């Protein structure tokens, strides 16, 4: 300490970088020690202390009233304030108008880490607890940033001193011993001096009063704990090692001298500023306010984005919908283009649409010119002359292919600039084009145009998902928007991603359709919108909503699908209102409606999944596809549909998606969450939606609802269930059990729907076998994720046992995709699914082509074309199979 | 001219500058008709901010000093004290690249608009770009673009992969041609270390803002290299500057434990965001898409969210275990990333 004191005088550097925080902290700590208004001192005894050593003098005034406390250690009676943790916290709260004690504790901890006070009874850590533990103020001499940073010699003296004192109270910590040893090595030439100093200090300390000694010892120790923290502890005093921000004592460059040039620049700037036109404060504030009001809905920190914030839900739909280049932008995004021309220009899709519009009007040379100039401004230096010439030749030269229309004055300017081409040569012309032509003419026309209106009308409207887990988003249920579709939509998105790069419209759509199939609602919605848009929209419909929408959607999809194999068609169908048509059939009882084409029993069988579909099939001549689709729908809504439309493609896409999923576990999680959310959705709604479903089935259906794909299943189940019941009670029972399991798990991945079907079949088998069920479930999940769902289902149909095995194998293969931990859910799904599938159908299915990936080829073969098979065999047949499986069960 | 006349000139100029400043203050005061508080009173307050930590990126072995979002909205580049630069897929929290720099204290890093290039630099006084590719070793294709005479504290790509703007401890900013390493423009005017810079959000904008240890905030014309506007007000180093998304204002964070908002068109300070309980300096600030929320990372390990219009603190985010050194809103505004001396990055949403 003495050594440090000796250095003290040297440190007065007039130009010391000193963060403001230290002034504030010191002010605060001084106030804390104020006898009148400071932190109350918890003392049992009070001593008037005379503070012995010189350096202690600084703190004398704070210790005027010489309080010391000592409760537990009688020897610890000294002239140093001790305060309790809760008093500190309370004082801080009052002094700084802090509302929550957490913040006050946090500040107290900061002060403690900077060494302004320290715990009396804990020499290891520097933390403040909001309790009765006691803290002692550090003497200002030891406050940080008061002097230059202590050096190793001082540290060595301090350590050496402690080795010479009472071993019990002054023994060194392990890290200190290490430090001492290394210091001894490094400071060999000074070691004698260090030893002398240490000895001297020990001698001096012996002359002090005991109380003072204890206080100063603990303060010194606390000081070194701040400057030489034990390993693993933070040093709050570390600074960026740049000259101007260094610690006190570090060599620093003299402050920069202001040169004549500096001053001239400053005066110039000030003069210019004086003549600057300013707006009133009120106008400026109004501008800021207006900006906020305009952009509130685009600020995810204030208004939750639709459908959800990816970081919160792990659901990347939002990003997929808003990727830089999309075929169909969201409605919100299109609306944003109307806010200002800058919004259009800064959005790649907006720019594209704007350009397309102008091209239609044969006036896109302006925007092209502007883009070229913008590009020029930021080009590599070496390319500048070439690019300047190119632009001139294309847009400005007389008779240029895309001559732009600028006034003579601007043209003159350009000609002038062309003599010495730079990246700014065309700035004047570009400015002219931008403000006069684009901004005041083209842009307003664009916003008023039919083109823009169509974009707006076609805009995707992602629906919000229900949040069951309090993610903090807005969790309002919209009738049309709910969680159920989420899984499906997720799949879609994934598929889209996998399939496509930027704007693979159809592929994505298909994928989406598949996924959509999981959520019929989505399809319906899509239908409402333009076809193109539909695929992209990840609709999350509340299950309750689903009752209304989904059914229709499913039906519509199914029906239309048969008629139109393309997913787009599905959408269209949904739009056209085929959905409505379908509905009735569904309500009627799919099987009943189906009856014509389908044999009674068979019709029933298909009825579950295809119940609607079968009916639709009946209506639609193209039964095959419709059937397949219907199946898909029933089984796993979207996936199957997709497969129906393009099963092979779908499968591939699924596989890709699965890979993606693997890559990002988060996706899986998201799906699970979504599924869970879905599960959370009112099941009853679905059941309600399914008119045909028996009450018993209704329950099942409700359980099914958890999984979006399952929904379809449910529907199918419900439809099938009655049949099954007729045929066999067992299937129903199975369904119920499955349902029960499902309901709790609810969270089957979005992918699961498709998968779940196959898995379900397998699972059912497994359940029968019991042991294998879990595996199956996993497999199923995987399969689902991979798009193998369809295949799986088929496989299941083929050989239940085989399927089980196959599923397992598949699962293994598929597992990489995403290993969802919700076996139970899957199982439940499977169970549900099972009733749907009948053994006969399975065999038939097996016959179908296999779109699935290699691993699942076998399964795929069967699966492959559930729809195809169906088509071939007639949907009824497949359905029949399913029913038969149900009978099995 | 001899030194005597030069000193004389300096003196006269300094005097003139002082009088000009006074006149300027008068001018500004004339238009100071209302306060922000009176206007914002009518605004609905932001209730229940629900920002929580969503991801923690662990992998740096030392203090994280800077970070930047990729334009793809999910990747982050971060640099740290031990000379490592890491490219993260923040969504999955996976590390995609880790580059070792030949220097410690890599104080600046930035993603290029294409998302295929990153730049970084620090105590080596250099700005180095690394093309990102999955095939090659990233550091094999590195390229040193420019060199300052002191440490490089900040950098940014001005809407192009082909140029890079840097700020340095030598109190200048510079615009470089990435391909040739040519100095395209130099920006003199600060009298202290430049700590931070940010580009105007406008597509056509040719301006940027810089903050410095001389407590000044300057607006620059990139084309001419001239300072076009200056703001005073902070009482200590300006550590961070960010443009308001409208482009009409800049938000700043300073060692004086305040954040401020300066309006370019009103030519003056509009708001101060401070609280008595905030003692430590702000290292990094950023604004949400609407400009209503200002997030600031402080030396006391916390992040404060301010309502810019009501000048109230609406949230206090705990989580980091050491100073928050950098902070960025993701390009689409869905998340907030923070980097800290505790060697982690966190993503909040």
Q: How confident is the model at residue A489 (pLDDT cuts 50, 70, 90)?
A: very low
Distance (Å, whole) CA A140 – CA A75:
23
Q: Which of B113, B106, B112, B114 is CA-nearest to residue B86?
A: B106
Cβ partners under 8 Å of residue B136, min gap 6: none
Q: Test B246 with A299 for CB contact under 8 angstroms.
A: no
What is the distance between the alpha carbons of residues A718 and A725, in angstroms, rounded to a whole number? 10
List of chain A residues whose C-beta atoms are within 8 Å of the C-beta of residue B52: 472
CB contact burial A699-713 (16+ within 10 A = b; e otherwise): bbbbbbbbbbbbbbb
**Contact criterion met (CB below 8 Å) for B264 and B278:** no
Question: Across the interface, do B169 and A242 touch by the CB < 8 Å criterion?
Answer: yes
pLDDT at residue A474 is higher than 60: no
What is the SS3 assignment for B71?
coil
Number of neighbours of residue A257 by Cβ within 10 angstroms: 8
> For residue B216, which phi and psi values (nearest 5 degrees)?
-100, 150
Peptide bond into A372 cis (omega under 30): no
Q: Residue A633 and residue A519: Cα distance in Å, rounded?
A: 8
Tokens of residue A68, six digits? 């010391």
Instruction: Please state whether the predicted TM-score (pTM) of the whole model is above 0.90.
Output: no
Task: HSE, CB side, 13 Å, CA atoms: give it for residue B78.
Answer: 36
Q: Of A19, A238, A284, which to mutate for an interface test with B (greatest number of B Cβ within 10 Å)? A: A284
What pLDDT does residue A417 have? Answer: 86
Q: How far is B323 from chain A (nearest CA, A)?
A: 9
Q: Which pLDDT score is estimated for B263?
A: 94
Looking at beta carbons, which residues of chain A come within 8 Å of B335?
300, 309, 311
* Residue B144: predicted pLDDT: 94
User: Could you write out the DSSP letters of every residue in A222-291?
Assistant: HHHHHHSPPTTS--TT----SGGG--TTS--PPPPPPPHHHHHHHHHHHHHHHT-----HHHHHHHHHHH
- CB-based contact B192 A296, cutoff 8 Å: no
CA distance B154 to B166: 6
End-to-end CA distance of chain B: 61
* Digit-coded pLDDT (tens) for A247-286: 555 555 666 667 888 888 888 888 888 888 889 988 999 9
Cα angle: A326, vertex A331, A333; to 5 degrees: 65
Q: Tell me, what's the pLDDT at A516?
A: 33
pLDDT score at A21: 87
Distance CA A409, CA A406 (A): 8
Cβ distance A837 to A886 under 8 Å?
yes
Handedness of CA B36, B42, B46, B47 (dihedral sign): positive
At residue A663, the pLDDT reads 52
Please state whether beta strands B344-348 and B336-340 pair in parallel, antiparallel, or not at all (unpaired).
antiparallel
How far does B263 lie from chain A, in Å, by closest CA?
7
State the Cα–Cα distance between residues A379 and A388, nearest whole angstrom.
Answer: 11
A270 and B263 in contact by Cβ < 8 A? no
Biggest alpha carbon distance in chain B? Answer: 66
Nearest to B246 among A291, A311, A664 (CB): A291
Write the pLDDT tens digit of every residue in B157-185.
Answer: 998 899 999 999 999 999 999 999 999 99
Backbone angles phi, psi at B129, to 5 degrees: -110, 145
Phi, psi at A82, each rounded to 5°? -125, 135
> Which of A100, A278, A301 to mutate: most B Cβ within 10 Å?
A301
Reported as a single tens digit per residue, the pLDDT across A597-633 is 444 443 344 434 433 333 333 333 333 443 444 343 3
How far apart (Å, rounded) are the C-alpha atoms in residues B292 and A580? 46
Given a cut of 70, is residue A144 above it in pLDDT?
yes
- For B:234-253, CB contacts with A below 8 A are 235-237, 244-246, 248-249
How many inter-chain contacts (A to B, CB under 8 Å) are there? 284
- Return per-residue pLDDT of chain B as tens, 349 residues: 567 788 888 888 889 989 999 998 888 888 888 888 777 777 888 876 789 999 999 999 999 999 999 999 999 999 999 999 999 999 999 999 999 988 899 999 999 999 999 999 999 999 999 999 877 788 888 999 999 999 999 999 998 899 999 999 999 999 999 999 999 999 999 989 999 999 999 866 789 999 999 999 999 999 899 999 999 999 999 999 999 999 999 999 999 999 999 999 999 999 999 999 999 999 999 999 999 999 999 999 999 999 999 999 999 999 999 999 999 999 999 999 999 999 999 999 9
Q: Which residues of A touch B32 (CB under 8 A)?
A: 281
Distance CA A241, CA A237 (A): 12
The residue in chain A having the minimum alpha-carbon distance to the alpha carbon of residue B225 is A265
Distance CA A538, CA A516 (A): 8
Q: Is B17's Cβ below 8 Å from some Cβ in A?
A: yes
Most confident of A400-414, A513-527, B243-257: B243-257
Q: How far apart are the first and last CA of chain A?
A: 87
Distance, in Å, from the CA atom of B84 to the CA atom of A695, rounded to the nearest integer, reads: 64
B312/A contact by beta carbon, under 8 A: no
A178 touches chain B (CB under 8 A): no
- A residues 300..319 contacting B (CB < 8 A): 300-302, 305, 309-312, 316, 318-319
The answer, for B184 touching chain A at a CB cutoff of 8 Å, is yes
CA distance A606 to A618: 12
Percent helix / strand / coil, chain B, rounded to 5? 10, 45, 45
Rounded-to-integer distance, Cα B196 and Cα B275, Å: 23
**A99 in reach of chain B (CB within 8 A):** no
Radius of gyration of chain A (CA): 38
DSSP H or E segment with residue B204: none
Q: Which SS3 state, helix, strand or coil, does residue A387 take? A: helix
> In terms of DSSP bridges, do strands B238-243 and A45-46 run parallel, antiparallel, or are they unpaired?
unpaired
Specify whether the CB–CB gap between A709 and A717 falls below 8 A. Answer: no
H or E element: which one contains A743? helix A729-745
Q: What is the pLDDT of residues A716-732, one digit of tens each?
A: 444 444 443 443 343 33
Are B289 and A299 in contact (CB < 8 Å)? yes
Q: Which residues pair with B183 in a beta bridge?
A: B176
Judged by DSSP in three states, B165 sits in strand
Selection from A443, A470, A446 nearest residue A456 by Cα:
A446
Tens of pLDDT, residue by residue over A741-755, are: 333 343 333 333 333
Specify the DSSP class assigned to residue A622. Answer: -
Contact B279 A283 (CB under 8 A): no
Residues contacting residue B340 through CB under 8 Å, at least 6 positions apart: B63, B64, B297, B301, B320, B321, B322, B323, B324, B325, B346
Average pLDDT over residues A795-802: 46
**Residue A393 has what DSSP assignment?**
I
CA–CA separation, B189 and B192 (whole Å) = 9
C-beta atoms of B91 and A666 within 8 A: yes
pLDDT digits (tens, 9 = 90+) for A858-883: 444 444 334 444 444 343 433 433 33
Best mutation target, A292, A377, A475, A501, to test chain B (most B CBs within 10 A)? A292
- DSSP category for residue B257: S
- B268: closest CA of chain A, how far (Å): 8
Query: Touching check for B124 and chain A: CB below 8 Å?
Result: no
Any CB–CB contact under 8 A between B158 and chain A?
A: yes
> Are the CB atoms for A138 and A115 separated by under 8 Å?
yes
Question: B127 CA to chain A: closest CA distance, Å?
Answer: 17
Burial class, A510, CB count within 10 angstroms (exposed 0-12 / middle 13-18 / buried 19+): buried
- Does the ipTM surpass 0.85? yes
Cis upstream peptide for A307 (omega within 30°): yes
Mutate which of B189, B229, B279 to test chain A, going by most A C-beta atoms within 10 A? B279
Helix (H) or strand (E) holding A745: helix A729-745
pLDDT of residue B218: 96
Q: Chain A: give the shortest CA distance to residue B347, in Å.
A: 8
CB contact under 8 A, B277 and A98: yes
3-state helix, strand, coil in chain A (%, to 5): 65, 0, 30
Longest dimension (CA), chain A: 112
- Smallest Cβ–Cβ distance between A106 and the set B150, B291, B300 belongs to B300
Supply the pLDDT for residue A837: 43
Q: Which helix (H) or strand (E) holds A385?
A: helix A384-391
Q: Which residues contact A595 (CB under 8 A, 6 or more apart)?
A: A603, A618
Which tokens hold the place of A121? 């009874």
Query: Is residue B125 within 8 Å of residue B167, measured between CB atoms?
Result: no
Check: CB of residue A51 under 8 Å from CB of residue A212. Answer: yes
Residues of B in contact with A299 (CB under 8 A): 288-290, 292-293, 333
Q: Which of A498, A530, A502 is nearest to A515 (CA)?
A: A498
What pLDDT, on the 0 to 100 scale, is given for residue A115?
87
Task: Work out whether the CA dihedral A692, A693, A698, A703 comes out positive or negative.
Answer: negative
Contact residues for B29 (Cβ-Cβ < 8 A; gap 6+): none
Q: How far is it, in rounded angstroms, from Cα A10 to Cα A230?
A: 28
Distances (CA, A) of B206 to B165, B166, B328: 12, 15, 22
Contacts of A262 in chain B (CB under 8 A): 188-189, 191
CA distances from A486 to A115, A670, A747, B136 (A): 54, 10, 11, 38
CA distance A407 to A395: 14
Q: How far apart, in whole angstroms, are the C-alpha atoms of residue A810 and residue B149?
A: 62
Q: Is the minimum CB–CB distance between A398 and chain B shorter than 8 Å?
A: no
Residue given tokens 């796993």 in the structure block: A636
* Mutation choice for B interface testing from A92, A254, A271, A288 by most B CBs within 10 A: A288
Tokens 């790069």 correspond to: A501
Phi and psi dihedrals of B239, rounded to 5?
A: -90, -25
- Could you tell me if B192 and B212 are in contact, meaning their C-beta atoms sit under 8 angstroms apart? yes
């Amino acid at each position: 300490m003495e050594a440090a004191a000796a250095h003290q005088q040297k440190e007065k550097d007039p130009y010391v970088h000193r963060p403001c925080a230290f002034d504030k902290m010191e002010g605060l700590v001084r106030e804390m020690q104020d006898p009148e208004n400071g932190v109350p001192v918890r003392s049992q005894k009070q001593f008037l202390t005379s503070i012995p050593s010189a350096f202690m003098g600084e703190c004398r005034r704070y210790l005027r009233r010489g309080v010391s406390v000592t409760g537990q250690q009688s020897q610890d009676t000294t002239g140093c304030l001790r305060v309790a943790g809760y008093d500190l916290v309370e004082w801080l709260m009052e002094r700084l108008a802090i509302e929550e004690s957490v913040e006050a504790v946090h500040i107290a901890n900061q002060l403690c880490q900077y060494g302004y006070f320290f715990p009396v009874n804990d020499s290891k850590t520097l933390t403040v607890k909001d309790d009765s533990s006691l803290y002692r103020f550090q003497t200002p001499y030891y406050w940080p940033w008061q002097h230059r940073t202590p050096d190793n010699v001082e540290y060595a003296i301090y350590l050496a001193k402690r080795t010479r004192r009472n071993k019990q109270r002054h023994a060194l910590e392990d890290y200190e011993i290490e430090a001492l040893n290394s210091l001894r090595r490094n400071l060999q030439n000074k070691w004698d001096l260090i030893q002398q100093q240490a000895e001297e200090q020990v001698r001096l300390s012996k002359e002090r009063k005991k109380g003072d000694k204890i206080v100063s010892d603990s303060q010194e120790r606390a000081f070194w704990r701040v400057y030489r923290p034990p390993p693993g502890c933070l040093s709050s005093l570390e600074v960026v090692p740049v000259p101007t921000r260094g610690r006190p004592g570090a060599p620093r460059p003299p402050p920069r001298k202001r040169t004549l040039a500096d001053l001239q620049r400053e005066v110039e700037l000030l003069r210019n500023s004086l003549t600057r036109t300013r707006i009133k404060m009120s106008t400026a504030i109004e501008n800021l306010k207006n900006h906020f009001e305009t952009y509130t809905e685009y600020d995810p920190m204030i208004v939750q984005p639709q459908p959800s914030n990816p970081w919160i839900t792990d659901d990347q739909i939002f990003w997929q919908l808003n990727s830089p280049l999309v075929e169909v932008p969201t409605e919100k995004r299109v609306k944003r283009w109307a806010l200002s021309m800058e919004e259009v220009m800064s959005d790649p899709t907006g720019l594209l649409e704007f350009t397309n519009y102008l091209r239609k009007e044969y006036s896109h040379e302006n925007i092209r010119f502007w883009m070229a100039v913008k590009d020029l401004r930021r080009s590599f230096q070496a390319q500048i002359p070439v690019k300047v010439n190119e632009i001139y030749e294309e847009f400005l030269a007389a008779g240029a292919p895309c001559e732009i229309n600028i006034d003579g004055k601007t043209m003159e300017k350009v000609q002038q600039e062309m003599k010495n081409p730079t990246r700014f040569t065309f700035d004047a012309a570009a400015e002219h084009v931008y403000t006069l032509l684009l901004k005041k003419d083209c842009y307003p026309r664009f916003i008023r145009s039919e083109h823009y209106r169509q974009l707006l009308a076609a805009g995707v409207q992602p629906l919000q998902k229900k949040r069951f887990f309090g993610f903090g988003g807005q969790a309002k249920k919209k009738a049309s928007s709910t969680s159920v579709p989420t899984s499906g939509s997720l799949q879609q998105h994934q598929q889209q991603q996998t399939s496509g790069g930027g704007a693979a419209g159809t592929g994505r759509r298909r994928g989406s359709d598949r996924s959509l199939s999981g959520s019929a609602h989505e399809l319906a919605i899509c239908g409402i919108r333009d076809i193109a848009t539909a695929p992209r929209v990840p609709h999350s419909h509340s299950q309750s909503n689903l009752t209304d929408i989904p059914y229709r959607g499913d039906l519509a999809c199914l029906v239309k699908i048969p008629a139109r194999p393309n997913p787009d068609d599905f959408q269209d169908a949904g739009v056209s209102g085929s959905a409505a048509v379908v509905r009735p059939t569904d309500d009627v009882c799919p099987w009943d409606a189906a009856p014509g084409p389908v044999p009674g029993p068979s019709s029933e069988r298909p009825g579950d999944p295809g119940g609607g579909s079968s009916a639709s099939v009946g209506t639609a001549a193209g039964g095959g596809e419709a059937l397949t689709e219907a199946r898909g729908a029933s089984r796993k809504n979207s996936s199957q549909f997709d497969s129906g439309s393009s099963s092979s493609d779908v499968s591939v896409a699924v596989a890709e998606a699965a890979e993606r999923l693997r890559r990002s576990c988060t996706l899986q999680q998201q799906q699970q969450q979504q599924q869970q959310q879905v599960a959370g959705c009112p099941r009853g709604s679905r059941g309600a939606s399914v008119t045909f479903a028996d009450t018993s089935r209704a329950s099942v259906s409700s359980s099914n609802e958890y999984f979006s794909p399952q929904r379809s299943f449910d529907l199918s189940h419900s439809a099938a269930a009655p049949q099954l019941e007729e045929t066999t009670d067992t299937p129903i029972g199975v369904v119920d059990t499955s349902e029960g399991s499902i309901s709790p798990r609810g969270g089957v991945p979005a992918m699961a729907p498709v998968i779940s079907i196959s898995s379900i079949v397998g699972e059912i088998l497994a359940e029968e076998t019991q042991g294998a069920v879990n595996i199956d479930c996993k497999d199923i999940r995987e399969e689902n994720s991979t798009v193998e769902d369809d295949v799986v289902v088929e496989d299941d149909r083929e050989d239940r046992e085989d399927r089980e095995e196959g599923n397992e194998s598949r699962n293994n293969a598929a597992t990489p995709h995403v290993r969802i931990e919700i076996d139970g859910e899957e199982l439940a799904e499977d169970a549900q699914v099972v009733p749907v599938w009948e053994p006969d159908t399975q065999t038939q299915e097996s016959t179908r082509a296999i779109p699935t990936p290699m691993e699942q080829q076998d399964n795929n073969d069967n699966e492959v074309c559930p729809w195809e098979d169906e088509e071939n065999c007639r949907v009824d047949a497949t359905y029949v199979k399913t029913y038969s499986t149900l009978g099995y069960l | 001219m001899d030194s005597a006349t030069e000193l004389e000139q300096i003196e006269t100029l300094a005097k003139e500058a002082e009088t000009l400043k006074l006149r300027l203050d008068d001018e500004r005061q004339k238009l100071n008709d209302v306060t922000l508080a009176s206007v914002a009173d009518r605004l609905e307050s932001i209730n229940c901010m629900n920002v929580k930590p969503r991801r923690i990126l662990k992998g740096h072995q030392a203090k994280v000093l800077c970070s930047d979002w990729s334009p793809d909205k999910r990747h982050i580049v971060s640099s740290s004290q031990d000379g490592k630069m890491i490219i993260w897929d923040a969504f999955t929290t996976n590390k995609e690249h880790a580059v070792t720099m030949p220097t410690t204290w890599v104080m600046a890093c930035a993603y290029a608009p294409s998302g295929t290039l990153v730049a970084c630099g620090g105590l080596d006084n250099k700005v180095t770009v690394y093309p990102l590719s999955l095939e090659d070793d990233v550091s094999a294709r590195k390229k040193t673009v420019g060199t300052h005479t002191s440490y490089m504290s900040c950098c940014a790509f001005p809407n192009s992969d082909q140029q890079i703007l840097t700020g340095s401890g030598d109190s200048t900013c510079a615009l470089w041609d990435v391909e040739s390493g040519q100095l395209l423009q130099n920006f003199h005017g600060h009298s202290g270390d430049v700590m931070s810079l940010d580009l105007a959000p406008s597509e056509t904008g040719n301006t940027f803002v810089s903050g410095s240890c001389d407590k000044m905030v300057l607006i620059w014309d990139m084309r001419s290299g001239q300072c076009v506007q200056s703001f005073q007000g902070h009482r200590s180093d300006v550590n961070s500057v960010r443009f308001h998304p409208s482009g009409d204002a800049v938000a700043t964070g300073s060692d004086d434990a305040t954040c401020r908002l300066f309006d370019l068109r009103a030519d003056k300070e509009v708001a101060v965001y401070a609280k008595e309980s905030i003692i430590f300096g702000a290292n990094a600030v950023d604004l949400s898409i609407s400009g209503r929320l200002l997030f600031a990372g402080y030396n006391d390990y916390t992040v404060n969210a301010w309502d810019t219009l009501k000048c109230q603190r609406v949230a206090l985010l705990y989580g980091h275990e050491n100073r928050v050194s950098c902070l960025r809103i993701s390009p689409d505004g869905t998340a907030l990333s923070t980097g800290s001396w505790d060697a982690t990055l966190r993503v909040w949403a």
